[in-house]
Chain A
């Protein structure tokens, strides 16, 4: 894609509004994410954090303002959107693996039909990423046969198989049993250390402290505070942030 070489931030969100009927989910949101930057987005439920990152690959359409991803503005141009989606991987709260395909097929289908990679090559890549998320032995199983933590690691590998430039994580550990959270976070930490551009909606404050370059706090559809983790956790300026932090364990 031509956007590969373009300069400027990976994601730029300018004055973005989003309405669901009369409910306003996002109010004049501004956020700029540099290449290689790792952003953690947190906030109470219903604050618009998921909506915001879902706008970045246009699973939701914004109603006002401007979103530019890898130098391409998101509009109604379908080719544009598909181009962006190829470069932006996403991991969902509920994994959303394809239950009718094996793990290996889950990983190879998009590279094969979207990027037109040959099957053999796609399988080599898939196995490499399965190694990386530490479940190479599960390749021939179906998602329903794996634990939640394993499924989420497959989902991460599936997104990575498209060789994306940006990874979005939408509460990747919220649906997991407590003992499985760390195995997923470990994979995400490794990914962060390799320089992937990451935007993570999560309540895992330990993870935020460890890898985030910036923590973004949202409430009622607005970005209330934006700061490096040290400053965010120790010296947050905003009352709502402090209140939220007092209710979330682990920081």
Chain B
């Protein structure tokens, strides 16, 4: 029989490292080799990205090609194309302000103090008007810029935000319809959701951008950008509807019964009792869906929109900077990272906040 041993007192940091990585000579050797590889890789990366890199534009592409490290001068020379795409050069400050508008209104609507119907409506109403006025112009002496010239980060943000803005309410509607007690409603909705989910996003975008104009009456066609957004919102809502429905299934039937017994109407029960709890259940999957949708905006390039990734391609693809594509992609990856990472952290904040009432 093994003797019962009391746990030793917790070791110090150095003791702990020693025990985990240098317990035996072989383990120590493996640890050292791994450490050496990591240091080597980190050094190479830093050397490339910073120490041997070229940051100034003055030398032009030639100075870059001579250097051993990264060529950040391509960003310095081309950042406007990456961020604003084909938007007219003199008007690009409008596109920049529009991006700031989207970020500000998103941040504002993420703050719990703004979670009343009136405040949210105010933020989004004012934000949308401001964004639209800035981007499209034609008012207050701003020259008109058509949607076909929109591009870069502003376009990426616009497509993402409008997709979510249309897709999310649509998803809730679909989820509620699928829960309907009338079989023909729930089955039809199920068929629509499953149908849309079975199609690749690219084919939906293609259909909405290219095929739909032949099928729709002229007054309903609208600009290609809005058709694409509707298509991507439909795709978003099909997935999100199932996430919301899953969240609703996690709400005990007794909750709705209690609300009924208090005389609440259907919409009061859904809006005040079922959905708030369902969304809490569905939050991790919902954040996931938002992150995926943000990255999927890059697919609109196939129907001819220059969102940020396509603009990046254009930024290095014009000859003199052709060699510097890694730097451009690293820059774009960094921008994606900022947005997606903030989204994830916000999701974590919401989870902590909503956990208050749990236990």
- Interface residue ranges, A against B (CB under 8 Å): 57, 59, 82-83, 85-86, 88-90, 92, 94, 96-102, 109-110, 113-114, 142-145, 155, 158-159, 162
Contacts and interface: CB of A to CB of B under 8 A. Distances in A.
Contact of B261 (A83, A89, A94, A113): A89
A85 B268 contact: no
Given A142-B356, A145-B359, A92 B257 contact: yes
A110 B263 CA distance: 8
Contacts of B356: 142
Contact of A96 (B258, B265, B358, B359): B258
Interface string B238-261: 000000000000001011011111
Given A92-B257, A96-B255, A100-B277, A159 B358 contact: no
Contacts of A142: 356-359
Contacts of A86: 262-263
B276 interface: yes
Contacts of B258: 90, 92, 96-98, 155
20 contacts: A57-B260, A57-B261, A82-B265, A85-B260, A92-B258, A94-B254, A98-B273, A98-B277, A99-B277, A100-B357, A110-B259, A114-B264, A114-B268, A142-B357, A142-B359, A144-B357, A144-B359, A145-B359, A155-B258, A162-B263
B179 interface: no
A57 B268 CA distance: 18
Contacts of B359: 142, 144-145
Nearest to B257: A59
A198 B71 CA distance: 82
A85 B272 contact: no
A99 B272 CA distance: 12
Contacts of B265: 82, 114
Given A92-B257, A94-B254, A113-B268, A99 B262 contact: no
Interface residues of B, number: 23
B280 A113 contact: no
Contact of A144 (B261, B354, B358): B358
A105 to B, nearest CB: 10
A86 B263 CA distance: 5
A2 to B, nearest CB: 16
B255 to A, nearest CB: 6
Contacts of A59: 257, 260-261
Interface of B: 252, 254-255, 257-265, 268, 272-273, 276-277, 280, 354, 356-359
A159 B261 CA distance: 9
A6 B277 CA distance: 39
A57 B260 CA distance: 9
Q: List the 9 shortest-distance A-B pairs measured between CB atoms, nearest first.
A: A96-B258, A110-B262, A86-B263, A85-B263, A90-B261, A96-B254, A144-B359, A142-B357, A114-B263
A213 to B, nearest CB: 23
Contacts of B252: 94, 96
A158 B254 contact: no
Given A96-B254, A114-B262, A145-B359, 11 more contacts: A90-B261, A92-B257, A94-B254, A99-B358, A100-B357, A110-B259, A113-B264, A114-B264, A114-B265, A142-B359, A162-B263
A175 to B, nearest CB: 11
A74 to B, nearest CB: 13
Given A92-B257, A144-B359, A158 B262 contact: yes
B261 to A, nearest CB: 4
B255 A98 contact: yes
B150 to A, nearest CB: 40
Contacts of A144: 357-359
A162 B262 contact: yes
Nearest to B277: A100
A84 to B, nearest CB: 8
A13 B80 CA distance: 77
A110 B264 contact: yes
Nearest to B255: A96
Contacts of A143: 357
B252 to A, nearest CB: 8
A129 to B, nearest CB: 14
Contacts of A110: 259, 262-264
Contacts of A102: 357
Contacts of A83: 263
Contacts of A155: 258
Contacts of A113: 264, 268, 272
B184 to A, nearest CB: 19
Contacts of B261: 57, 59, 85, 88-90, 92, 159
Nearest to B258: A96
B263 to A, nearest CB: 4
B280 A100 contact: yes
A113 B263 CA distance: 10
